Chains A and B, each alone.
Chain A
Amino acid sequence: MIRALLLVLTSLTITTAAVAKEDCLSCHGQKGMRGYVDRATFEQSAHGRFDCIKCHLDVSGYPHAKVLKVNCGSCHFLGREGAPKEKAQEYKLSVHGRALAAGNTVAPNCQTCHGSHNIFRAGDSRSSTRRENIPSLCSKCHSKEFADYGTSIHGKEFIKMQNPGVPTCFDCHMEHRIPNVGDEQWMLSLITQCGNCHAEEMKTYRKTYHGKITRLGYANMAKCSDCHGSHTILPVADPDSTLSQRNIVATCRKCHPKATSGFTKFYAHAEESNREKYPIMFYTYIFMTTLLISVFAFFLTHTFLWAYRALKERMQKKGGE
């Protein structure tokens, strides 16, 4: 009875003036109320200083109709001063954004990942999008990928929290951008992403045919994940690795269907200048380089001396005339 009276009273005041946060919380701040908002959490959140109607644009007083989903883009749009605008645009072009636009009802919108009244800055431990929370956040929909990731060396290290550089979902799938997994430019860009940590491996990969062709922009060629796997990636020494003695033939056969175990003795990260690891390549390289230098040393000397003599004779001839 008192509550009903209170509602009537507040409604009288807020139809005329701007709706203040306190006005809304007088109802929605109460536990059990439909659309309950935890005041303490909200006030500490990134948007805690704003009035509710800053986001709930469809509410202008009381009583109000069913409240619509908030459109974050009303502030976080491209071109607005100060807003993290690229993110909104990136999201729109992502698989998530495009699925939503196409009418997919389970496709995530901003709130699915960021929350609504509990949005914290990414550095805050309470933030759903803080680095540590990313795999469990994505697992809300991608449970199989999350399970796979947990078995990988990256996932294991991530859970132990011993290696802050270890990649999570976002490092490869690119936060808001989340391109289609078939996107060739994205697949090619992942090589450099792996190379951020595995620099030596990327350098040696780039010396091989696979690495050179992918550098020319052709994705239909062995990239890191084609051999090492992606969500289930393991060190080569691990018997479960795609490149272990047990599995390597099957892995090579993905592209080379008639690969044999002899075939798999190919060095996918070979470097001709490394004598310890690749002695035969090294001595071949030394032989070829010696041959090249000898031939050029001989013939360039030959050519320059020839040109010198021929020009000199021509000048003498002219002088004699």
Chain B
Amino acid sequence: MAEFKRFNAYHRILHVVMAVSFIGLVASGMPIKYSNAPWALWMTKLLGGYHGAALIHRICAVITFGYFIAHIGYVLYYIGIVKKFQFNVFGPESMVPWITDIMDIVNNFKWFLGMGPRPQHDQWTYWEKFDYWAVFWGVGMIGVSGLFLWFPEFFGRFLPGWAFNVATVIHSDEALLASGFIFTIHYFNTHLRPEKFPMDTVIFTGRLSLHELQHERPLEYQRLVAEKRLEEQETAPQASWKTDTGILFGFAIVLIGFFLLILIILGQFYY
């Protein structure tokens, strides 16, 4: 059975790095945000005490800045070198939101409510684009506020001290938004939605089956057929051990995420 390329090795590795560092950040940050919760003490101990948790948080923060910069580099490389500046920023291969996305949202809600057919998607759906841009917003907000809190003496040279209070609010609330979003909405939209339950393996295999391409991304399929590029997208299935490792990793991350989500919800009662 032929399979079709969706994510290359860079995409897949980036996703794994993001997932691991994100879990590390949430696990080591939440005991501080919810220091009043009964689980905060043992969670801190589990991570090697306050100093261990702080170290994990900072290492994962550096990884986050690393993949963020790496991705910007990749986008420039992709548009400039791979596409030789012939990339249509508002086209179907782009992550940039466009009017079609607004229409897709409206039509999708109509479908939810039984008022119309299911809208047909191209390569990137609006919820995938949202996930993508949310990382920019999240890393920007949490990253900058986090740097303030990491190096207060340095930033205190040009910023008033209350900037650290504001940074704390942003860091803490954005962390809740990001982790709450990933562990519920992202998990559902990608892995737990009825067509894919319990997991969409595409991020681990990088490949779509013909059936998936035709049914989930019909506009992309039709476009590839019309542009006679379908064959160029064809690829051999991934070695099964790689797929198995990916799935195992995916399940571990999803379960850890749910576990952290429960702790966050509990923590909210003590906040």
A305 touches B109 (CB 8 A): yes
Interface residues of A in 187-223 (CB under 8 A from B): 206, 208-209, 212-213, 215-218
A292 touches B195 (CB 8 A): no
Residue B162 is within 8 A (CB to CB) of chain A in the complex: yes
B36 touches A300 (CB 8 A): no
Residue B239 is within 8 A (CB to CB) of chain A in the complex: no
Bound complex: CA A256 to CA B164 (Å): 14
**Residue of B with least CB distance to A308:** B112
B176 touches A292 (CB 8 A): yes
* Chain B residues closer than 8 Å to A265, beta-carbon distance: 160-162
Bound complex: CA A285 to CA B271 (Å): 15
Specify which of B36, B166, B177 is in contact with A281 (CB 8 Å cutoff): B166
B164 touches A266 (CB 8 A): yes
Bound complex: CA A272 to CA B170 (Å): 11
Bound complex: CA A259 to CA B164 (Å): 13
Residue B50 is within 8 A (CB to CB) of chain A in the complex: yes
B161 touches A267 (CB 8 A): yes
Specify which of B113, B156, B169 is in contact with A260 (CB 8 Å cutoff): B156
A262 touches B166 (CB 8 A): no
Bound complex: CA A303 to CA B174 (Å): 21
Residue A36 is within 8 A (CB to CB) of chain B in the complex: no
Give the contact stretch, choosing among A84-92, A235-243, A309-317: A309-317
* Chain A residues closer than 8 Å to B36, beta-carbon distance: 206, 215
Q: Chain B contact residues (Cβ within 8 angstroms of A): what range?
A: 35 or more
Residue A69 is within 8 A (CB to CB) of chain B in the complex: no
What's the minimum C-beta distance from B199 to chain A, rounded to whole angstroms? 16
B153 touches A300 (CB 8 A): no
* Chain B residues closer than 8 Å to A300, beta-carbon distance: 184-185
Bound complex: CA A215 to CA B38 (Å): 11
Contact with A along B154-184 (1 / 0, CB 8 A): 1011111110111011100110110011001
Residue A50 is within 8 A (CB to CB) of chain B in the complex: no
Residue B44 is within 8 A (CB to CB) of chain A in the complex: yes
Residue B243 is within 8 A (CB to CB) of chain A in the complex: no
Bound complex: CA A153 to CA B145 (Å): 38
Q: Describe B's contact surface by its main secondary structure.
A: helix
Bound complex: CA A258 to CA B111 (Å): 60
Bound complex: CA A263 to CA B176 (Å): 27
Specify which of A213, A217, A291 is in contact with B32 (CB 8 Å cutoff): A213
Give the contact stretch, choosing among B5-13, B78-86, B186-194, B248-256: B186-194
Bound complex: CA A281 to CA B165 (Å): 7
Bound complex: CA A260 to CA B161 (Å): 9
A303 touches B160 (CB 8 A): no
**Residue of B with least CB distance to A310:** B194
What's the minimum C-beta distance from A49 to chain B, rounded to whole angstroms? 50
> With A258-B153, A292-B177, A303-B184 in contact, is A267–B35 under 8 Å at CB?
no
Interface residues of B in 1-42 (CB under 8 A from A): 31-33, 35-36, 40-41
Residue A280 is within 8 A (CB to CB) of chain B in the complex: yes
Residue B114 is within 8 A (CB to CB) of chain A in the complex: yes
Bound complex: CA A208 to CA B162 (Å): 12
Contact with A along B41-57 (1 / 0, CB 8 A): 10010000110000000
> With A216-B35, A263-B161, A280-B162 in contact, is A311–B194 under 8 Å at CB?
yes
Closest 8 CB pairs of A and B: A266-B161, A263-B156, A265-B161, A305-B112, A288-B173, A310-B194, A212-B35, A258-B153
Given contacts A216-B31, A296-B180, 12 further A-B contacts (CB under 8 A): A256-B153, A262-B161, A265-B162, A266-B152, A266-B162, A280-B166, A284-B169, A292-B177, A302-B127, A302-B185, A303-B184, A309-B111
A-B contact pairs, 27 of them (CB 8 A): A206-B35, A215-B36, A217-B44, A218-B49, A258-B153, A260-B156, A263-B152, A265-B160, A265-B161, A266-B164, A266-B165, A267-B162, A270-B165, A272-B169, A281-B165, A281-B166, A285-B169, A285-B173, A288-B170, A288-B173, A295-B177, A299-B185, A300-B184, A305-B109, A307-B193, A310-B193, A314-B194
A interface residues with partner B (beta carbon < 8 Å): 206, 208-209, 212-213, 215-218, 256-260, 262-267, 270, 272, 278, 280-281, 284-285, 288-289, 291-292, 295-296, 299-300, 302-303, 305-312, 314
